[in-house]
Structure 1
Amino acid sequence: MKYDTNNFQKDVIEQSFITPVLVDFWAEWCAPCRILGPVLERLAEKYKEQWKLVKLNTDLYPDIAAEYGIRGIPNVKLFHNGKVINEFTGALPEHMIEEWLRKSIPSKFSDMIEKAKKLLAEGKIEDAKVILEQVHNGDINNGEVKILLAKILVYENPKEALRLVDSAQLSNDTVELAEAITTMSQLFEKLYNQNELPEDSVKQLYIDAIKDLRDKKFESSLKKFIEVIRENKAYDDEGARKACIAIFKYLGEEHETTLKYRREFSRALYV
């Protein structure tokens, strides 16, 4: 078969530094393998510009199968830059495999995305934005890029940030940040509709907290939102609680501001 290999190092490991390689670990006696094999071959032809398929008969290459911990077949592993980055076992339906591939295949712009992430972490927002916009133009369906762009645009253009979030296919890595961006966009919208907020003694404090958030004064904003929680946790459908969580997710769990205010936030909730 055209997808078989007799040189795993060359056809899989080395090739995976050029394009992702999907390896189908199979055997002739395996009935599910005979079901899955043709499906993978159809998909390999359909997506030949995005990834390569290699089929490895575990009976012929038991050492390789043992090296990669194959205990049940069919087993499918995705290699990128010489390493396994995702896998599944069993004969999945074609539509489920396509969905798995869509989420698993790294973007050809992955190096640029990593560079943009690094720039964001360093606070070089405009430089990161330029790179992310370039990637977005070349890979318009990349959900991670949409969320990273939305993270920037939530301050410049909250409605566009929401549009990007709404159109993005989310992964486990992006869902919390997407929720944070959505919450922040909705909070900023409240600044233009302050008269619609419930009348209460904490109303002005709540508005001031949103203004601080809009100005990226995260510590001041958190202090005020936490005070709102202490005085009236239920205000604006627990808006202050949702805002604090959004800030923590936006900044990241290891950010110094998150670490500083997480405990105070928790105490305020349960006093």
Structure 2
Amino acid sequence: MIDVTVQNFEAEVIAASMQTPVLVDFWAPWCGPCKTLGPILEKLEAEYGGRFKLAKIDSDQEQQLAAAFGIRSIPTCILLMNGQPVDGFMGALAEGQVRQFLDKHVPSEGALAAEAQADEAGALLESGDTEAALAKLAEALAQDPGNDDARADYVRLLIATGAYAQAAEALREPLAREPRPLHFEALRRWLDAIEFVQRDERGNWSVEQFDAKIAADKRDFETRFAKAQALMAEGQWTASMDELLEIILRDRKWNDEAARKTYVAILELLTPPPARAGAAGTGQSAGGIELTGKDARQEDPQAELLSSYRRKLSMALN
């Protein structure tokens, strides 16, 4: 628990919430219900073992913060995550009700353990220990099957190491959702391209063989798409998108928009995932206080490339 003032608000609430949910308790020394709620919040902060942080603001002493959040009665609690208010409650709730409120937003112990395993997997992968990284990611999913970041990393690594059957199995659950998460759909299309190369004789064709057949018929979309899949399976992403764009320009509806969907999948696969923390943009609380987070978008060659191919797709579709 920490007492928050205007001076330390940015560091102790906004910045801290980029890493851990922060529950802000607006109270005052004269407030009877505040004296009931306060000990409950402090007890739960200890019991939750760092899964959330409690910040207390004396609304009499810090009227600027209270006004900024639009506080009209106390106690009022507001939960912030990634620099933004996400939920809150007013009044001295019973301990069970506060637990229910927290459990809607605060990560479980299993989720935190999974996150730690995923972080370790990233370090192992950077060191070149792919096998250990796969094991860590599998442990992360066992701890928290709902960790989509870990699942996506796991599937990517399985595909990269040729464990295609395991990758397909790991994709089964997210692809059963409605709507399908775009990133998992993209991974499935990458896997489809690899499987195409393995089962279809055209998977062994040279680029020259594809181009000769396409030259004889510019609208031979089957051959164009097969070429795009072969290029995608080899990781020749831009060359694959160039071929898909030729189909889109001539007949965007062909084969249930397979070319557009595959093009979008490649863009998704090439887009770096957002940072797990610190990627929030700017916004305001209900009371009007400006909440700022670091803009994670950085112009680099990869970003410029993706922007270029997004513009190409937009122009082809419009």
TM-score by length of 1: 0.62
Between Structure 1 and Structure 2, how many residues are aligned?
241
Shift of 1:241: 0.3
Q: Distance in 1 between matches of 2:257 and 2:246?
A: 12
34-43 or 243-252, larger mean C-alpha shift: 34-43
Q: Is the 8 A contact 1:191 1:210 kept in 2?
A: yes
Task: Report sequence identity in percent.
Answer: 16
Equivalent position SS for 1:74: strand
Correspondence for 1:236: 255
**Alignment deviations for residues 174-218 of structure 1 (CA, whole Å, 9 cap, x no partner):** x543332233234444456659xxxx8311221111011010011
Q: Distance in 1 between matches of 2:35 and 2:138?
A: 38
Q: Is the 8 A contact 2:187 2:265 kept in 1?
A: yes
**Alignment deviations for residues 10-59 of structure 1 (CA, whole Å, 9 cap, x no partner):** xx959x69x9463341337698x89987996786576x245255362534
Q: Is the 8 A contact 2:23 2:55 kept in 1?
A: yes
Distance 1:20 1:220, change over 3 A: closer
Distance 1:223 1:20, change over 3 A: closer
Q: Is the 8 A contact 2:249 2:316 kept in 1?
A: yes
Correspondence for 1:267: 315
Letter in 2 for 1:145: A
Correspondence for 1:75: 78
Correspondence for 2:157: 152
Q: How does 1:91-102 map onto structure 2 within 5 Å?
A: 91=89, 97-102=102-107
Q: Distance in 2 between matches of 1:58 and 1:162?
A: 54
Correspondence for 1:205: 224
Q: Is the 8 A contact 1:133 1:149 kept in 2?
A: no
Q: Distance in 2 between matches of 1:166 and 1:40?
A: 40
Correspondence for 2:85: 87
Letter in 1 for 2:89: A
Correspondence for 1:171: none
- Unaligned regions of 5+ residues in structure 2, if any? 91-96, 175-180, 202-218, 273-301
Alignment of 1:247 with 2:266, yes or no, is: yes
Q: Distance in 1 between matches of 2:224 and 2:249?
A: 12
Correspondence for 1:56: 56
Distance 1:133 1:190, change over 3 A: same
Shift of 1:90: 2.5
Higher relative contact order (Cα pairs below 8 Å, separated by 6+ residues): 2
Distance 1:53 1:257, change over 3 A: closer
Equivalent position SS for 1:230: helix
Distance 1:267 1:70, change over 3 A: closer
Q: Distance in 2 between matches of 1:251 and 1:6?
A: 43
Letter in 2 for 1:58: D
State the superposition RMSD in angstroms. Answer: 4.9
Alignment of 1:178 with 2:181, yes or no, is: no
Shift of 1:220: 1.5
Q: Distance in 1 between matches of 2:247 and 2:87?
A: 50
Q: How does 1:85-124 map onto structure 2 within 5 Å?
A: 85-91=83-89, 97-102=102-107, 107=112, 109=115, 113=119, 116=122
**Alignment deviations for residues 97-127 of structure 1 (CA, whole Å, 9 cap, x no partner):** 4242239x9946569739939x98xxx6955
- Unaligned regions of 5+ residues in structure 1, if any? 79-83, 169-174
Equivalent position SS for 2:89: coil
Equivalent position SS for 2:54: strand
Letter in 2 for 1:91: F
Equivalent position SS for 2:106: helix
Letter in 2 for 1:185: L
Q: Distance in 2 between matches of 1:216 and 1:38?
A: 57
TM-score by length of 2: 0.55
Distance 1:187 1:125, change over 3 A: farther
Q: Which has the larger radius of gyration?
A: 2
